[in-house]
Amino acid sequence: MRYLASIGQKPLFGQQLLYLHCQEVDKYTWQPVKEEVAIDINHKFPSGSLIVAHITVTSHRVQRIEEATQAIISTLHGFSKIGRQYRELSQDIEAWKASMQIQAEELRRREEELMERAEALKLTLVCTLQNADHLAIPQSFDYYLNGEEIS
């Protein structure tokens, strides 16, 4: 398990203490360590150095210690990349919303045109039936839609 830690003061016996601050959960997620833990280490980092410690979970044994600079920079770059992706997705969503609004307006306009045309056809049909020599009311409008005449 990886931990972000700092090197503590050297006690009398020449060993350094490692104070764990947070542990890595996944690539860009770190959670605070609930309590401060001190582990004896024998590395030559100056007191107050910020480090990444690889520690076994079961025995709390330090496997490896490295400077935290590269890990922090890598994590910050990852956050920056996620931020850019979020902004790009937000812009895409706004563009989709605008597109959907335009399409909805076009759909309403075409619906109004169809309603006006249906009204005009209804009026034309009524006028045609009133002027017909003989009245024959079709059972459906299929006669008119298919171009068939009433006999």
Asked if the structure places residue 144 within a domain, the reply is: no
Domain final position from 67, 91, 112: 67
**Is 118 contained in some domain?**
yes
Tens of pLDDT, residue by residue over 106-129, are 999 999 999 999 888 887 777 776
Q: Are residues 97 and 59 in the same domain?
A: no
Instruction: Output 64 or 146, whichever has higher pLDDT.
Output: 64
| Whether residue 38 is found in the same domain as residue 61 | yes
Q: Which of 96-100, 101-105, 127-131 has the lowest mean pLDDT?
A: 127-131
Q: Is it the case that residue 149 has pLDDT exceeding 60? A: no
Q: Same structural domain for residues 57 and 107?
A: no
Q: How many domains does the chain have?
A: 2
- Provide long-range contacts, Cβ within 8 A and 24+ apart, for 64-69: 65/18, 65/41, 68/4
User: What is the tens place of the pLDDT at every residue in 29-85?
Assistant: 889 987 666 777 777 788 888 999 888 878 778 888 889 988 888 888 988 999 999
108: domain range?
Answer: 69-127
Residues 100 and 112 in one domain: yes
